[in-house]
Structure 1
Amino acid sequence: MLMWVRMAPPLPLIFFLLMIHGVSSAGWSVSYSPSHICALKDSTVIMRCTYTYPTGHQIMKVFWTKESIKGKEPPDLSEDPEYSQRLQYLGDKQQNCTVRLSHVTLKDSRMYYFRFITDKDMRYTGDPGVTLTVTDLQVESPERVTEGDSVTLRCKSSCALTDRATFIWYRNSQPLTERRDRNNELLLQSVRREDSGRYSCAVDGHTHISPDVQLNVMYPPVKPVISISPSGVIVEGDSVTLNCISDSNPPVEISWIKGGTIVGSGRIYNISKISSDDSGEYKCKSINEHGEKYSDTVTLNIMYPPRSVSVSISPSGVIVEGDSVTLNCISDSNPPAEISWIKGGTIVGSGRIFNISKISSNDSGEYKCKSINGHGEKYSDNVTLNVMYPPRSVSVLISGSGVIVEGDSVTLNCISDSNPPAEISWIKGGTIVGSGRIFNISKISSDDSGEYKCKSINEHGEKYSDAVTSNIMYPLMNVSVSIIQSGQTWGGDSVTLNCISDSNPPALNFSWFKENETSAVGSGQSFSALQSGRFYCQAHNQHGSQRSDAVTVTVHHVAGGNVIVITAASGGLFFIIFIIIFILFIM
């Protein structure tokens, strides 16, 4: 210990004091116990101290100082603003010089001295003093820890604490009550991911807690989970977000897979204006250096209105009456659409399949299907059912419903229902006389009279119409007289003449005339001639009248009676007949 004396004592005394420089000198001493103190930051330190001085001295002032400067009075810590509120002197002015310093800081680390002054103006400082080292706590932790490892955390200080210490551990600011180790180590055996967190340590009984240290436990991804937003019905055109949630350390890389194809990366997979092409099964893959995991698949079921609506026909070729025909409405929609079938403007069926068994020509026409769901509706284009069938309902129509008169122009029309249109031929009797749907006779004559029918034929069959009769009206012609009885006739007998005519309608009125006479000599188709002369007939119908050539009736008188000879009116024939009659008369 050093002692400074204000008044210079005699030289032998100075020499003596210099010789005993140290803890004590000639009854002067200061003793620190301990001389080195390691204290925790923010704790309270008691520096224990005792001192002695020679008899005959009385202590006037005691104080602690942080400086020991020769030739200069050191400052009193109790008067230092940095210490005055924290320093408490616990000793007396006899022997005890103990002091208490509270809330120590790292800046308080230094050597401190006790100094006292006697009534004889003797000043003494205990030098060397007591060394105070203020330490902080630091948690020592490995930088990287993998799940399953054994880990030791250490609570370290820059010096060994003077006071016996019991360490307390905290995780995420919560005390680990099950771990109150007396040493400064925290052992985590087979570390788990739940052990990750901010660790700190403290000394029991002290408020100071060390800074946090993050224990980073590495582990492979847990099975990821996908969330979909929006979570309800997704309609074409919506914006859809898939979020891959995966717990791992370090953070994982995320990739998105649709089917077997990678379609994106990152935790968020966004589809703006989603379409039906985006429908399907998605999953995410979560990977880091410790492993990888796949999520379960989620299905994006995109709703959209009907589109691409069309109709297919089976069989696709020629459809013949009696076939079974199926119409199939092909419609792309989600959810599946309700289907209705329309012919013209009338609903004729429902369901995706419209079947017509034993189809008939009445089923021909334009068909379309209507596809509708909760998001919209759409019509297909029209398709035409063209049902083929053999001719039927074949008939002949004669133009003009009145009387056909010779010389008229007459048209026969063959009416035939068939598909495809039939080829038409015209038959009179058993002879083909024309072709085509229209058979025209210009300036018809009686030769054209007869029964006509048409034959209608296509690749599916043939059919004849009923026969119609062409009844041609024409005036009288070829009027002649025929002799019903000829040869030799005796007196009192008569010769019957018959008037023959060609006309339509037949002649109903006949008149008989004797040449050179204006008045008729008879009527009716037959006439009995009783006398010689030249006779002719005249026939009448509504179209006119015509007379025949005259025939000659000659009556010869013979004994016992008359012989009537009828001869023709023409010259040559009359001569021949006359010769024959003359010969017969001679005989």
Structure 2
Amino acid sequence: MSLIKAPPLPLVFLLMIHGGFSDDADRGVSYSPSHICALKNSSVIMSCTYTYPTEYEIEKVFWTKTKDNEDPPDLSEDPEYSQRIQYLGDNKQKICTIRLSHVTLKDSHEYYFRFITNECQCSRGYTGVPGVTLTVTDLQVESPERVTEGDSVRLTCKSSCTLTDRATFIWYRNSQPLTERRDRNNELLLQSVRREDAGRYSCAVHGHNHISPAVQLNVTYPPKSVSVSISPSGEIVSGDSVTLNCSSDSNPPAEIYWYKGGTFVGSGRIYRISKISSDDSGEYKCRSINEHGEKYSDAVTLNVMYPPKSVSVSISPSGEIVSGDSVTLSCSSDSNPPAEISWFKGGTFVGSGRIHRISKIRSDDSGEYKCRSINEHGEKYSDAVTLNVMYPPKSVSVSISPSGEIVSGDSVTLNCSSDSNPPAEISWFKGGMFVGSGRIFNISKISSDDSGEYKCKARNRHGEKYSDAVTLNVMYPPRNVSVLINGSGEIVSGDSVTLICSSDSNPPALNFSWFKENESSAVGSGQSFSALQSGRFYCQAHNQHGSQRSDAVTVTVHHGDGINVIVITASSGGLFIFIIIIIIFIIAMGTPPLPRMGLGPRQVCGKPKHSLHMGSSESWLSYA
């Protein structure tokens, strides 16, 4: 083999030789040590020296893995070794040391040094047996698969053989060196292990690049750092889809349960609410639980925004409301954010705010009230409520139908109008006399007797009130038409007697006509008439509603020297005969007129003159 002077080595195992000589006293190979435990991927120095008789010369030296003397293979010519083996020997010094780099597990074997001298062909080759036994080892970390937080744990960096050189061990967690854990002990002690100690642990020997395969240390612990996040994180409006996520640090992973208030609502790390509504508002929290314990998150508030709903109005006091009371209307509205409240009577705005107060309420305040609740998400009106204010009668009045002139025989209706709550009972009075009840007072075929002042009284449990009186003025045509006699003194031929026409009518008769019986044409007009001749006379009274004639009266003029007598009679029957008898009796007796029977003295031409008035027939007797 070629002899190459090796450069200074960085870091190798220095292997000291113990024995290993051949049986020949003058030939032999010594290896120090004869057993080497080397770390995988490290460089190994196999130190050796040899002896041979000085009368010979060395023709070839090499290392081999075969102790057979029959042409063993040279490692320097083996492709697996040629690039990794370096001869460090010196034939003059009889040093046969080599360095084998990047050793692998396959390199574990017994190696031999062989030299060939220029002796006779049969015995010139010599192999140092036994050789150097190389064991290449890997590093393995031993640890429990799972520990619980708070426990003590021991990790061991193990090899299949004891490393030849005393090593300093280095520990790694998650590929990061634990500088505080460098020592000559191949054990790593973690006292009161924490969850932060969990990870992948590996070990190495200081000065070597080889790191053991990592072993996972699993630290179990109860849940901690439990919290809830809400998505979306901004304002949530009814109808949105909302996701609640429970974050929990635990080992093993915890089971998650969800609560709204104290009520269980679901499980799993994610809790979704699609088309959220106001009913979903509230405080939510999750419970994280595993075999080591449990922990609740802090509560988070799910504040769902929504337009007004369930808008209603309540009235206080809730019973009967009487004018003068104080009344409060309250608007109840469910909305988020809280709504602004407006009040309406009918369609008219009357105020704002959740409370609408009316002090000393009046009948004018009666009506339908509703409130409007509005926020940025919408608006809603309440149903209308009726404010029914009770009050005593007022504005009591009477109307007459027909409203114009009323004529006897007409049908007349008196209507009592009254503003009251509850509706009033109506009573009717003519003058001070009760004449009927009910809002309507009907008079069919009215007569003059129905004329007068009428009023109604409206009464309910809160009070009473009379209307102003109205006058019922019944128009009717003349009736009870009669003739009255007006005259004085003694009537002689050429004198006259005055007749006066009397009648009952409304309006009063203004047109009067006088007639002589059996004549078609009027003989006079006006309320009075002067009769100049004998005959039967009557009057006729007129107004716009009709006319009526009186009974006829008889006027008689007598011509004589002594006594001129005018006899006036209303009829030609027995009364007339009676009057003639009286006249004859008076003439025969030649006595003054009787003082009784309605006779009164009248003076005509200085002589006593008497007249006789008898009853309603209005007959007048004149004598001289």
TM-score (norm 2): 0.81
Does the 8 Å CA contact 2:370/2:384 hold for their aligned counterparts? yes
In structure 1, runs of 5+ residues without a counterpart are 1-20
SS in structure 2 of the partner of residue 84 of structure 1: coil
**Is the contact between residue 157 and residue 203 of structure 2 (CA under 8 Å) also seen in structure 1?**
yes
| Alignment partner, residue 63 of structure 1 | 62
Equivalent position of 1:79 in the other structure:
77
AA paired with 2:548?
A: Q
Q: How does 1:407-426 map to 2 (within 5 A)?
A: 407-426=409-428
Moved more, 176-185 or 199-208: 176-185
Cross-structure match for 2:359: 357
Matched AA of 1:117: I
**Aligned twin of 2:614:** none
After superposition, where does 1:59-138 map in structure 2 within 5 Å?
A: 59-69=58-68, 72-94=70-92, 95-120=94-119, 121=121, 122-138=124-140
After TM superposition, the structure 1 stretch with the greater mean CA deviation from structure 2, 227-236 or 214-223, is: 214-223
Distance 1:24 1:498, change over 3 A: same
Aligned partners of 1:573 and 1:451: how far apart in 2? Answer: 44
Q: Distance in 1 between matches of 2:61 and 2:421?
A: 138
1:242 Cα deviation after fit: 1.5
Contact 1:534 1:569 in 2 (8 A): no
Does 2:316 correspond to 1:310? no
Identify which range, 233-242 or 576-585, moves more after superposition.
Answer: 576-585
TM-score, length of structure 1 as denominator length: 0.86
Retained in 1: the 8 A contact 2:21–2:29?
Answer: no
CA distance in 2 between partners of 1:519 and 1:158 (Å) = 173
Within 5 Å, give how 1:326-345 maps onto structure 2. 326-345=328-347
Residue type of the alignment partner of 1:347: F
Asked whether the equivalents of residues 304 and 334 of structure 1 are also in contact (C-alpha less than 8 Å), the reply is yes
- Deviations, residues 102-151 of structure 1 (Å, cap 9, x unaligned): 11111111111111111123211111111101111111222222222222
> What residue identity is the alignment partner of 1:168?
I
CA distance in 2, matches of 1:570, 1:461: 67
Change (3 A) 1:544 1:92: closer
Counterpart amino acid of residue 211 in structure 1: P
State the Cα deviation string for residues 389-412 of structure 1 (Å, max 9, x = none).
Answer: 333322222234443233334333
Summarize deviations over 1:462-501 as a string: whole Å, max 9, x none. Answer: 4333222222222211111345789xx7679998754321
Aligned to 2:169: 167
Q: Determine the C-alpha separation between the residues in 2 that align with 1:570 and 1:505.
A: 34
Amino acid at match of 1:136: D
Query: Which whole-Å deviations, capped at 9, do the CAs of 1:523-552 have from their partners, x for residues lacking one?
Result: 654667798765544433344443322345
Question: What pairs up with 1:38-437 in 2 under 5 angstroms?
Answer: 38-69=37-68, 72-94=70-92, 95-120=94-119, 121=121, 122-437=124-439
The reply to whether residue 541 of structure 1 matches residue 546 of structure 2 is no
Asked if 1 retains the 8 angstrom alpha-carbon contact of 2:535 and 2:555, the reply is yes
- The structure-2 alpha-carbon separation of the partners of 1:544 and 1:192, relative to structure 1 and needing over 3 Å to count, comes to closer
Please report how far the alpha carbon of residue 423 of structure 1 lies from its aligned counterpart in structure 2 after TM superposition. Answer: 4.3
Any idea what the Cα deviations from partners look like across 1:165-218, whole Å, max 9, x if unmatched? 111122222222222211212222222222222221111111111111222222
Confirm or deny: 8 A CA contact 2:482 2:501 kept in the other structure.
Answer: yes
**Which deviates more, 50-59 or 450-459?**
450-459
Matched AA of 1:392: K
1: distance between equivalents of 2:425 and 2:67? 143
Secondary structure, counterpart of 1:78 in structure 2:
helix
Question: How far, CA to CA, are the matches of 1:136 and 1:497 in structure 2?
Answer: 170
* Higher deviation after alignment, 21-30 or 211-220: 21-30
**Per-residue deviation, residues 272-309 of structure 1 (Å, max 9, x unmatched):** 22111111011111222222222211111100111222
1:341-366 CA-to-partner distances (Å, cap 9, x unmatched) read 22333222111222223333323333
Residue in 2 that maps onto 1:35: 34
Say yes or no: does 1:465 pair with 2:467.
yes
- Structure 1 position 425, deviation (Å): 4.3
Pairwise mapping of residues 482-561 of structure 1 onto structure 2 (< 5 A)? 482=484, 498-510=500-512, 525=527, 535-552=537-554
Secondary structure of 1:246's aligned partner: strand
Amino acid of the residue matched to residue 58 of structure 1? E
Q: Percent identity?
A: 80
Report the Cα distance in structure 2 between the residues aligned to 1:272 and 1:401, rounded to whole angstroms.
Answer: 74
Across the aligned residues of Structure 1 and Structure 2, the Cα RMSD in angstroms comes to: 3.2
The answer to whether the 8 A contact 1:24-1:30 is kept is no
User: Match for residue 13 of structure 2?
Assistant: none
Task: Evaluate the alpha carbon distance shift between residue 513 and residue 88 of structure 1 in structure 2; reply closer, same or farther with a 3 A threshold.
Answer: closer
User: Does 554-563 or 416-425 show the bigger shift?
Assistant: 554-563
What SS class does the counterpart of residue 237 from structure 1 fall into? coil
Paired residue secondary structure (2:180): coil
Letter aligned with residue 369 of structure 1: C
Partner of 1:183: helix, strand, or coil? coil
8 Å contact kept, 2:21–2:30: no
Distance 2:548 2:276 in 1: 100
Q: Pick from 483, 489, 501: which aligns with 1:481?
A: 483
Structure 1 residues 406 and 85: CA distance shift in structure 2, 3 A = same
Give the AA of the match of 1:257: Y
Aligned 8 A contact 2:483 2:539 in 1: yes
Residue identity matched to 2:353: G
1:565/1:581 contact within 8 Å kept: no
The answer to whether the 8 Å contact 2:553/2:568 transfers is yes
Alpha-carbon distance in structure 1 between the residues aligned to 2:174 and 2:330? 69
Deviation at 1:267, TM superposition (A): 2.0
Whole-angstrom CA distance in 1 between matches of 2:267 and 2:172: 38
Secondary structure of the corresponding residue to residue 449 of structure 2: helix
Distance 1:540 1:140 in 2: 147
CA distance in 1, matches of 2:565, 2:173: 170
Please give the secondary structure, in 1, of the residue aligned with 2:249. coil
Code of the aligned partner of 1:103: H
Matched to 2:408, the amino acid is E
